[in-house]
Chain A
């Protein structure tokens, strides 16, 4: 399977702390994307990082990509209770015309 793997499967932190989630994948990619899913809702796109990029920021989000290790990380700084959700990485594998989603990390941010 080409599916990516997120780590950890679940993460519980306090408001104000930082949350880091990791994603590993298997073969060469065009890009890697991160999505958030609140309970009972659809997925929302957060950030896209291309294979020739190493780091990208969007507000409190920071994504890194290490193509030599085939891994990416999503950092959420100064977390809030509203950040509680599942976070998925999705890989756009070269030669494959759609995204492959990982199993997700469930993040719980307690007030």
Chain B
């Protein structure tokens, strides 16, 4: 009964390849996110989706394309992988922000991407 799940947990691939990471949440949340955590543990928001619609798209290369087939899923596709894409990618979900601000976020276990 995992709340937020991601697959795969580890991904090792060569430069130039295209890969996808899948994320699913069973919490009934309307908002989902993708974060990138670098080797120094700095966590940076990449995308935010609310009810399958893109809300936030931070300064991320357009090689990264999120896709939300339904509210429970937010997948991340990466084209033409580069060495600098190596990081841990986290999916998260939350209730939609209201007047009082945002709610707590629930994180997946992460996908460690290594580009060689």
Residues on A facing B (Cβ under 8 Å): 29-31, 33, 35, 37, 40-45, 48, 50-51, 86, 88, 90, 92, 94, 97-101, 103-104
Contacts and interface: CB of A to CB of B under 8 A. Distances in A.
B62 interface: no
Most buried by B among A41, A42, A45, A51: A42
B108 A42 contact: yes
Given A31-B100, A41-B109, A48-B104, A88 B43 contact: yes
Contacts of B102: 30-31, 33, 92, 97-99
A43 B43 contact: yes
Main secondary structure of the interface of A (DSSP, over half): strand
Contacts of A104: 41, 43
Interface residues of B, number: 26
Contact of B45 (A41, A86, A99): A99
20 contacts: A29-B101, A30-B102, A33-B104, A37-B41, A41-B109, A42-B92, A43-B90, A43-B105, A44-B107, A48-B104, A86-B41, A88-B43, A92-B101, A97-B55, A98-B45, A98-B102, A100-B45, A101-B44, A103-B40, A104-B43
B56 to A, nearest CB: 6
A48 B106 CA distance: 13
B97 interface: yes
